[in-house]
Amino acid sequence: MGPGTYVFDVVTGVVSPDDLPKASIQRRSRDYRRHRCPQCGKSCYRDSRGTRCLHDLGNIHSGRPRDIKVAYSKHRCERCRLYFNANMSDLAPPHGRYTNRVVEMAVRMVVEDGLPYRDASWHLWKDHCVFVPFATIQNWVEAAGEKERPVGDGRLRPVGAVGVLGVHRRRRAV
C-alpha cells in the first residue's frame, strides 16, 4: 500500500463499543530483581509486581488500536523505608494511561496546527486509532503551557511588576 491508496474504515457504521476492533497488544517488561533507590541509591530487592496498560498510536492500515501492557517491579528501600516502582518515564508520564507519543501528537495538533480540542480528539481516532477525550487533550495543552522558561542563569522569572514589566522599585530617602 502506498500513499493515496484507499483504506476502508472498519469503524464506519459501528454503533456498539463491543463491535469496535480489538486492540493489538504489545508486551513490555520493566521487571527487575533489584533496582536502585531514587533517594539514597541503595540497591533494593523486588517487593512485588504490577501491570499497567498504556494506549499507544494505532495502525491505520489494520484499523486496530494498540495497547502496551507493561509488567513492572515494585521495590522497597530498607534504608529510606520508601516504596517505588521501576522507572517507566520513557514510555508514559506517571499515572498516565497514554504513551508519550500520544501526548506529544495531541499537543502538537492543538498548538502547531491550531486545531480545536474536539477536532484533535477526532483526528487522533480517525488517523491513529487511539481515542483520547478532548478534555484530556485540553489538560495536556494547559500543562505544557504552564511550564516557566528559566532565565539565562537557570532561575525562574519573578512574578509581579519586577518580572513582567522589568520595573524595579527604589526606596526614596526621606
In order along its 174 residues, the chain shows pLDDT tens digits of 566 665 556 556 566 667 777 888 999 999 999 999 988 889 999 999 999 999 999 876 777 889 999 999 999 999 988 999 999 999 999 889 999 999 999 999 999 888 999 999 999 988 888 889 999 999 999 988 754 444 555 555 555 444 444 555 555 555
pLDDT of residue 147: 42
The reported pLDDT for the residue numbered 144 is 83
Three-state secondary-structure class, residue 146: coil
Taking the C-alpha atoms of residue 122 and residue 11, their distance in angstroms, rounded to an integer, is 13
Output the pLDDT for position 148: 44
pLDDT of residue 9: 60
What's the CA gap between 24 and 47, in Å, rounded?
30
Query: Of 20, 16, 19, 108, whose CA–CA distance to 64 is shortest?
Result: 20
| CB burial string 119-145: b at 16+ within 10 A, e below | ebbeebeeebbbbbebebbbebbeeee
